Amino acid sequence: MSIVLGFDVYGTLVDPLGLEREMEPLFGDRRKAACATWRQKQLEYSFRRGLMRCYEDFDACTRRALLFAAKTFKVDLPDSAKRQLLADYLSLPAFPDVVPALETLKASGCKLLAFSNGIERSLRTLLGNAGVLSFFEGVVSVDDIKTFKPNPDVYAYLTSRGGHSRGETWLVSANPFDVIGAKAAHLRSAWVRRDSEAVFDPWEFEPDIVVSDLKGLASELRSWTSP
């Protein structure tokens, strides 16, 4: 398949809620809610920074979101604990379907790129720790153009880095806002519906493909690309 697949990272390849064990010493039985708050505010801060045109990189958004979670749950977060949790965030676990799916897609001839709001240095560490960095021909970070998804500029940047047309460039993401952003920018897109209860936003943009996990992506793509 002569196409480019740009894989979102957080929520698609690695689990951004995967630090419950690390959060437990500080947050106790509220660790799950704290993880969710941390992730929610991380995304919100990136959206706001993009709209305000007041760029601060994703690592900074992640750090500020952690501080918000600590304040929300009235947890004293010493500097040492903050540094440790931010270091742990670079070791988020890959979802179980990721490695076999990437093996299949790479063997089929697809060009695989990691495409994220994260900064490249952190992404390479994260993907390396998750055991998946070697599958990708490149890491495409929005930090290069100093804005965030779903700004259409980031999808144009993915297309230029991939070296294919927009019609041959696919975004693969578990985040509906990301899928909508790609479709609005005239890319193809696959939504990974990891939660069977998840509802896609009722907008004028819809994914070309919906899969429950990445294992089904290769066969779905073949039906699109076969002559």
CA distances from 8 to 4, 45, 149, 176, 216 (A): 13, 18, 10, 11, 17
3-state secondary structure of 131: coil
**Res 226: pLDDT:** 57
Could you tell me if 28 and 193 are in contact, meaning their C-beta atoms sit under 8 angstroms apart?
no
The pair of structure tokens assigned to 47 is 């959206």
- The number of residues making up the chain comes to 227
CA distances from 141 to 100, 107, 153 (A): 24, 24, 12
User: 97 catalytic, yes or no?
Assistant: no
Single pTM value for the model: 0.95
- Domains of the chain, CATH where assigned: 4-14+93-225 (3.40.50.1000), 20-91 (1.10.150.240)
Model confidence over 132-186: pLDDT tens digits? Answer: 999 999 999 999 999 999 999 999 999 999 999 999 999 999 999 999 999 999 9
Residue 227: pLDDT over 60? no
Model confidence over 172-187: pLDDT tens digits? Answer: 999 999 999 999 999 9
Positive/negative CA dihedral, 218, 223, 224, 227? positive
List the catalytic residue out of 8, 15, 57, 97. Answer: 8
